[in-house]
Structure 1
Amino acid sequence: MDTAHPADQSAADPGPQRILLVTGLSGAGKSTTLDVLEDLGWETIDNFPVRMLERLVAPGDEPVDEQRGPLAIGFDSRTRGFVPADIIELLGQLTERNDLSVSFMFIDCADGELERRFNETRRRHPMTHGRPLQEGIAAERDLLEALRHAADTVIDTTSLATNELQAHVRDLFDIGEAGDATLTISSFGFARGMPPLADLVFDMRFLDNPHWVDGLRELTGRDAPVGEHIEKDPAFHAAFEQIRDLLLTLLPRYEAQGKAYVHVAFGCTGGRHRSVFTAERMAQGLREAGFSPTVRHRNLGSRAADEIERVPG
């Protein structure tokens, strides 16, 4: 978000080094997450021996600009020296250091979906050891439960396609200017599931539904006739202004609290008309107020269908 910030830190003091620890259930998407982080400019290390982590980030004699690049470290139940209690203790020690900014992400997924993924790829689960796949998944979940509770960020990939996981990681950890939070405005259809990582969700189903108007059904919220129809609803302008004013109040407060990303989602039944139009209009309004949102439309490409919209309204 582009808002006013204190004076930039001097070149001699670039601030604490960003360290992101990434773990999770086997098959949940840790490797994909680390690949995206690498594309975003993070230095990434996977399956790093946990006992060596403190030595890796120990203060050294190298020039400051060679120490401060963001570093993502992946580990899981296969990693040498993997003891969850020891990892949590080490995490606490690292977060107390003034020269580090440490965060911890856990990649989760439902057991049934993990079974499907392993069966499809014919990969061997690291904790089966001759027992059924379900038991191996359950054993790993029990082992990692304390780490899941200790994580700053939990991403559940059960209903996420690979490209959706990649988009979420980009939203969360894209390297921007210091102090700037990443703001995402999205639209979605309730009939196709809630967005798993939204911070604020606004339900636009109280507006008149263009799906049931001849000539508008096959259009989307990006088309002018749909927007004109929605704006004719007496409830639209008052609700829009109240939501915008609320966001203008909350967004600077989130940033002041150090929140690295904010995801605001607008939903309607199918995710093609009311939510799309409102998300586009809200992004425009926030840009006029000095913010720089990214806009995503999750279900814009979905086909118009009466069975999704169900009943008028």
Structure 2
Amino acid sequence: MSERYDPENPPTVPEGIAMLDENAPVHDDPKANEVLIITGRSGAGRTQAARALEDLDWYVVDNLPPTMLPALVGMMSPDGGGVHRLAAVVDVRSRTFFQDLYHTLDVMTSMGVAYRVIFLDTDQETLVRRYESNRRPHPLQGHGTLLDGISTEEQLLAPLRRLADEIIDTSHMSVHDLARHIRDVVAGEGERPLHLTVESFGFKRGLPLDADHVLDVRFLKNPYWVDELRHLTGRDEAVSEYVLNQPGARQFVSDYADLLAPMLKGYVEELKPFATIAVGCTGGQHRSVACAEFLAERLRDHGYSTRTVHRDLGRE
């Protein structure tokens, strides 16, 4: 990866840092541990990129001194049980430590660590506009002008830019555009960064505050009025069959899931990471619970990670 790495004269691995197994997964293995180095110009969107990675379940460390990278990589778990997707934001804010980055990358290469460098860039005019908007000094400006700081950083970062695997020009990107681009760079094929919650509830206790969609199933016959079912809940097979075997009930819930599917694809495109679908009946014990479980099953069939929550179950 690094242009500075010489296999005949590898750099010394810092004491206490274990070498990775020579049979460790290679960089292009989609199941391998992943390491990203996020760097680039100040004001180009590193913070937004870090937040986008966190939303994709990456372990993100910001403003890390480069010499700490090998130790941080040692946290990663080959079986995926711990940290297995690590992103480190490294930039000139680490001051003199930043000069150690190139040697650190050589060390990581000698350890067998597969990593990618993502460099965020922006044209000078856009940088000036952004700094004037947020009224903060450039980290390398010192007692000089804003343009002095921008120019100094550009020269300092030039070798690293040449090393980058991916250069992202954020000059004309919104925050959401950048997040989409980051997702496209790092997300695996078919990965769906949307997590759904199907929540049953009783209308008599009010709507869930975080509901994105509400499904009312009070039109179905209530098992509460059947003596042998009253003490049971929608999780019990007898109640579930009573509710879902009513004419049109199963079809109604199934069609609702099909109706949601294209909308949920839009949520993915708009980077909405979570959505809650609330299913309500009168008390939240029978009909809503049974329908919520069935709806969650149908949404999983559409390929979405879905969990069920029963807010009022067990409440009188």
Q: TM-score, normalised by structure 1?
A: 0.48
TM-score (norm 2): 0.48
